[in-house]
């Protein structure tokens, strides 16, 4: 059944926990923000499926799929399970980002989002990932959930990877990046 009626009074529960919390709580906000990123990455994944873009022997679709799986681990962690992101998962994001950077001109300024559809979608997912990161930081700062040692690092690297993939999408299509004019 897709509905339980348990949330009709503005409360929700988390996986494996029979306690209810307000849907406006910091934990619910963090979980919702992570869910938004994951759902939007589904759109990115579909739009990257017809591209033949490879980074470290993985196509963009596979990279996004792995990120989505890892976001589920972070959501489970916030919901109170013993799951957590590992140092290896953070290192994988760093390796992907570093490799992408080597394929492009160095960053000398901010860039205006756009270029290709895929780059634009990666940019939107980057901003959503930053928001989710802020929400998870708030949960940790309030002491509501103990966040694993590498979770915040993963979320921080994720937005860097998504930015690199946006730039790389444009670069692979021969699209030049546009800097803001500040006029």
pLDDT tens for each residue of 104-145: 888 887 888 889 999 999 999 999 999 999 999 999 998 878
Task: Give the pLDDT confidence score for residue 113 in this predicted structure.
Answer: 86
Residue 57 has pLDDT above 90, yes or no: no
Can you give the residue ranges of every domain in the chain? 23-172
Apex CA 98: angle with CA 93 and CA 99, to 5°? 100
pLDDT tens for each residue of 62-119: 999 999 999 999 999 998 889 999 999 999 999 999 999 999 888 887 888 889 999 9
Task: Give the pLDDT confidence score for residue 67 in this predicted structure.
Answer: 98
Report phi then psi at 98, rounded to 5: -60, -40
- 3-class DSSP state for residue 12? strand
Task: Give the pLDDT confidence score for residue 114 in this predicted structure.
Answer: 86
Residue 59 has pLDDT above 70, yes or no: yes
- The CB-based long-range contact list for 2-5 (8 Å cut-off, 24+ gap) reads none
Beta strands in the chain (DSSP E): 11-13, 20-22, 54-55, 58-59
| DSSP bridge partners of 59 | 54
Residue 10 pLDDT class (50, 70, 90 cuts): low
Provide the whole-model pTM. Answer: 0.89
Across the range 9-29, mean pLDDT stands at 65
Q: Indicate the average pLDDT of the chain.
A: 88
Task: Give the pLDDT confidence score for residue 141 in this predicted structure.
Answer: 93
Neighbours of 120 (CB within 10 A): 17
Least confident piece of the model among 24-33, 115-124, 149-158: 24-33
CATH of domain 23-172: 1.20.1200.10
């Amino acid at each position: 059944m897709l509905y339980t009626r348990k949330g009709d009074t503005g409360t929700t529960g988390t996986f494996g926990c029979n306690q209810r919390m307000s849907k406006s709580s910091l934990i619910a906000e963090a979980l919702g923000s992570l869910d938004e990123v994951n759902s939007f990455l589904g759109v990115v994944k579909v739009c990257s499926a017809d591209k033949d873009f490879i980074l470290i022997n993985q196509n963009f679709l596979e990279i996004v799929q792995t990120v989505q799986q890892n976001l589920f681990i972070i959501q489970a962690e916030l919901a109170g399970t013993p799951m957590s992101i590992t140092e290896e998962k953070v290192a994988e994001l760093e390796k992907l980002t570093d490799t992408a950077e080597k394929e492009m001109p160095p960053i000398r300024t901010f860039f205006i989002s756009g270029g290709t559809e895929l780059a634009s979608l990666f940019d939107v997912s980057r901003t959503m990932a930053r928001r989710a990161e802020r929400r998870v930081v708030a949960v940790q700062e309030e002491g509501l959930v103990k966040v694993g040692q590498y979770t915040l690092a993963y979320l921080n690297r994720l937005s860097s990877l998504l930015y690199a993939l946006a730039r790389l999408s444009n670069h692979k299509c021969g699209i030049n990046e546009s800097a803001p004019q500040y006029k």
